[in-house]
Amino acid sequence: MTEQNQTQLPQDKPLEIAGRVYQSGLLVGTGKYRDLAETAEAIEASGAEIVTVAVRRTNIGQNTDEPNLLDVISPDRYTILPNTAGCMNAKDAVRTCKLARELLDGHDLVKLEILGEDKTLYPNMPETLVAAEELVKDGFQVMVYCSDDPLLARRLEEIGCIAIMPLGAPIGSGLGIQNRYSIRQIIENANVPVLVDAGVGTASDATIAMELGCDGVLMNTAIAQARDPIRMARAMKLAIEAGRHAHLAGRMPRRAYASASSPIDGTFF
């Protein structure tokens, strides 16, 4: 299926994060894939330019010849976005970010994610605010996973976070965008990019997020755990584009009742 698109549309404002311009509003994670080959292929198919990774202990004394994720997902080609996944407090998250910066030769873009509990993986906002403040002071460019509270989102922007990333539903739940009203409020208030991070289950969910006016969507499980991750990655790429176009186009008003598409004038019966 190749797109034969002859129609020229006005240029869209591209997504800009930390001074870099991106063509795709799709950001993808690298967890839960079968192997590194599948990871690489899915990310290629997704067209994503920003890719999240986790920071963990090196396995000591095991298979030191094993290929490294960053050999497959090269920092020369992709913007690597290290996350603080698994951290439950500000101290661990700040430590993780510092290790990530060292790991990536001074690259200071991070995804701050501090979780509050295992069941919902909801963000721990008090700790997130503390960590955000400390990281911004230390020169990090912080993209922040957060709750969908519009006032907290505004606070994170005031602290200096460069992207606000509320959840649409719990991480890995695939429930879709459960909080359209709150996401809309966050977008209306924000002067930095807003991305839905977590909750997307299938392509239409990503489209809904973009139709709401999000600048992008970050996802992992929806692609990695699809029956065919490569094809789902492509579906997500198109879904993000479709949602963006629909947002720019402006949807028709909703009506309670029908409105005929064919005119009544000229009927011969």
Partner 1 sequence: MNVLLNGEPHTLSGSRTLQALIDELGLAGKRLAVEVNEDIVPRSQHHDYRLQDGDRIEIVHAIGGG
Among residues 32, 91, 98, 111, the one annotated as catalytic is 111
User: Closest approach of Cβ 76 to partner 1, in Å?
Assistant: 12
The residue within the footprint of partner 1, chosen from 87, 93, 171, 200 (CB under 8 A), is: 171
Is residue 77 within the footprint of partner 1 (CB under 8 A)?
Answer: no
98 is an active site residue: no
Report phi then psi at 78, rounded to 5: -110, 155
CA distance 151 to 143: 17
DSSP label of 226 = S
For partner 1, the closer CB: 54 or 242: 54
- The pairing of strands 79-82 and 15-17 is unpaired
CA distance 164 to 146: 7
Per-residue contact string for residues 194-233; x = within reach of partner 1 by CB under 8 A: ----x-------------------xxxx------------
For partner 1, the closer CB: 100 or 136: 100
SS3 164: strand
- CA–CA distances in Å: residue 96 to residues 86, 113, 168: 10, 11, 25
Is residue 53 within the footprint of partner 1 (CB under 8 A)?
Answer: yes
Is residue 79 within the footprint of partner 1 (CB under 8 A)?
Answer: no
Is residue 24 within the footprint of partner 1 (CB under 8 A)?
Answer: no
| Torsion on CA atoms 88, 32, 223, 215, rounded to nearest 10 | 30
Query: Which residue has tokens 């992992």?
Result: 220
From 91-99, 123-131, 227-235, 256-264, give the range in contact with partner 1 by CB under 8 A. 91-99
For partner 1, the closer CB: 208 or 223: 223
Strands, sheet with 195-197, edge to edge from the N-terminal-most edge strand? 26-28, 216-219, 195-197
Is residue 40 within the footprint of partner 1 (CB under 8 A)?
Answer: no
The residue within the footprint of partner 1, chosen from 25, 82, 216, 229 (CB under 8 A), is: 82
Residues in a beta bridge with 145: 165
Q: Which residues of this protein are in contact with partner 1, per CB under 8 A? A: 29-33, 39, 52-58, 60-61, 64, 68-70, 80, 82-83, 85, 95, 98-100, 102-103, 171-172, 198, 218-221
Catalytic residues: 111
